[in-house]
């Protein structure tokens, strides 16, 4: 049986339309468990610091698998690499579902992390299919923001329902099923040959020599680190400090998608955001405001608004990739995507460790720290938009 894909135009070419639905199911698998992930680790006997250890290890393992992905992109056809990664994710979620203690989670986490080796090639295919300029910004926004956000409208709430009606283990069974659906979507991609770069081999050092690319990569690290530092233990704060139930946290998690989709539509339709750095500033501002509400909020209504604003976190990734695509020369673009995943991965890895330590000092300290650093970053991004705006505009003509 072939999986039927809804024939909605989305303004995308056929392969990018498949990317849209593939990333929809991928994010559905993440969304169904991510909001409750810290609580699942807690239920397996972990302390706050051990929760940070498990989540941080996931980020560390991502880095280890991303390091050789630049070579994999140059040797393995995109379709085979993506399908292999989906199989790893499916098995990883199955292992998480049967874990009996928090330290049993590591094999599943390793396989989940291995699946991220396909993300740089996904970004490369999106850029190749879309072309340059405004069409590329739209493709990245639709595939890496709007599609995943549409999944997140449903799956965090679904995770809460499954956890309350069955158990927290059920959310990982659902995650595996979503990834199976994504696997079948990706099987319908066109077969693409490995892109051969002419001239001397491209190294990661070559990527860092390019000023614009280096700037965006450094921003990727800082923004991800501060954002993940702030949001990692929000479910624990809500449950332990404010008495919010697991089911309510699941519903709140779905609201993040509302904010993400809203931001995606703004980025796609308002002329001011043709300069993608301005969109980057808007997305980061949304995360900072969310952290402020988590710190000072006392009611479900305030927390709901905070989760909507938290949707800016997903938007930061799509806008970052669009900006990176425009400022990076084609010859080094594949390696730049790998480094973008690595820099974001370093932030993703380190932030949960710090969040766990901060939380044990004071539950809202991770949110305060993340918010405090993001504010000057927003100012810097908006200032830099004057420079990057000219580069981006020139490519859109």
Residues 288-314 have a mean pLDDT of 90
397 lies in some domain: no
5 within some domain: no
With respect to residue 9, please indicate whether it lies within any of the assigned structural domains.
no
Strands (E) in the chain, as ranges, are none
**329 vs 291, more confident:** 291
229 vs 217: CA distance, rounded Å: 18
Asked whether the predicted pLDDT for residue 374 surpasses 90, the reply is: yes
Domain of 176, in residue numbers: 14-190+204-392
Number of domains in the chain: 1
Q: Is residue 62 part of a domain?
A: yes
| DSSP one-letter code for 71 | H
Domain-located, residue 237? yes
DSSP 73-114: HTTS-HHHHHHHHHHHHHHHHHHHHT-SSGGGGHHHHHHHHH
pLDDT score of 4: 54
Average pLDDT over residues 77-95: 91
Domain assignment of residue 138, yes or no: yes
Dihedral pair phi/psi, residue 368, rounded to 5°: -60, -45
User: Domain for residue 145, yes or no?
Assistant: yes
CA 368, CA 352: separation in Å to the nearest integer? 14
250 with 36: CB under 8 angstroms?
yes
Task: Please give the structure tokens belonging to residue 311.
Answer: 């949707």
Report the CATH number at residue 181.
1.20.1250.20
Q: What is the share, in percent, of the chain residues with pLDDT greater than 90?
A: 25
Q: Residue 265 and residue 137: Cα distance in Å, rounded? A: 12
Whole-number pLDDT of residue 391: 45
Band the pLDDT of 199: cuts 50, 70, 90. Answer: low
User: What value does the mean pLDDT take over residues 8-34?
Assistant: 84
Distance CA 316, CA 287 (A): 9
Tell me if 226 sits within 8 A of 380, measured CB to CB.
no
Per this entry, what is the length of the chain?
Answer: 397
Averaged confidence pLDDT in the chain: 82
Task: Give the pLDDT band of residue 388 (cuts 50, 70, 90).
Answer: low
Q: What is the spatial distance between Cα 177 and Cα 179, in angstroms, rounded to a whole number?
A: 5
Residue 231 included in any domain: yes
pTM above 0.75, yes or no: no
Tell the residue number behind the tokens 């991502």, with chain if given: 62
Residue 7 CB burial class (10 angstroms; 0-12, 13-18, ≥19): exposed
8 A C-beta contact, residue 40 and residue 33: yes
């Amino acid at each position: 049986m072939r999986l039927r894909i809804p024939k909605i135009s989305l303004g995308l070419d056929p392969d990018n339309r498949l990317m849209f639905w593939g990333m929809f199911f991928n994010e559905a698998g993440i969304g169904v468990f991510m909001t409750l992930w810290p609580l699942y680790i807690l239920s397996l006997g972990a302390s706050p610091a051990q929760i940070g250890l498990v989540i941080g290890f996931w980020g560390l393992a991502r880095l280890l698998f991303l390091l050789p992905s630049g070579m994999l992109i140059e040797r393995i056809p995109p379709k085979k690499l993506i399908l292999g990664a989906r199989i790893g994710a499916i098995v990883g979620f199955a292992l998480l579902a049967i874990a009996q203690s928090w330290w049993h989670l590591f094999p599943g986490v390793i396989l989940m992390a291995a699946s991220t080796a396909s993300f740089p090639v996904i970004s490369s295919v999106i850029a190749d299919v879309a072309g340059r300029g405004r069409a590329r910004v739209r493709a990245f926004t639709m595939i890496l923001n709007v599609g995943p956000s549409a999944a997140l409208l449903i799956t965090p709430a679904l995770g809460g329902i499954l956890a309350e009606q069955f158990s927290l283990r059920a959310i990982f069974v659902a995650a595996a099923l979503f990834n199976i659906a994504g696997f079948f979507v990706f099987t319908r991609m066109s077969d693409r040959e490995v892109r051969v770069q002419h001239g001397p081999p491209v190294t990661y050092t070559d990527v860092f020599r390019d000023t614009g690319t280096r700037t965006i990569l450094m921003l990727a690290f800082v923004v991800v680190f501060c954002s993940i530092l702030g949001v990692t233990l929000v479910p624990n704060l809500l449950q332990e400090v404010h008495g919010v139930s697991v089911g309510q946290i699941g519903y709140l998690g779905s609201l993040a998608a509302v904010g993400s989709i809203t931001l995606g539509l703004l980025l796609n339709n308002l002329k001011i955001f043709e300069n993608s750095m301005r969109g980057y500033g808007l997305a980061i501002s949304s995360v900072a405001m969310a952290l402020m509400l988590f710190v000072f909020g006392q009611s479900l209504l305030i927390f709901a608004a905070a989760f909507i604003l938290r949707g800016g976190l997903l938007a930061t990734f799509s806008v970052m990739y669009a900006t990176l695509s425009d400022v990076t020369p084609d010859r080094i673009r594949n390696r730049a995507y790998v480094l973008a995943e690595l820099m974001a991965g370093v932030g993703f890895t380190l932030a949960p460790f710090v969040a766990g330590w901060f939380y044990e000092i004071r539950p809202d300290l991770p949110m305060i720290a993340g918010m405090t650093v993001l504010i000057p970053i927003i100012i810097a991004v908006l200032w830099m938009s004057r420079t990057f705006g000219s580069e981006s505009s020139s490519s859109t003509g």
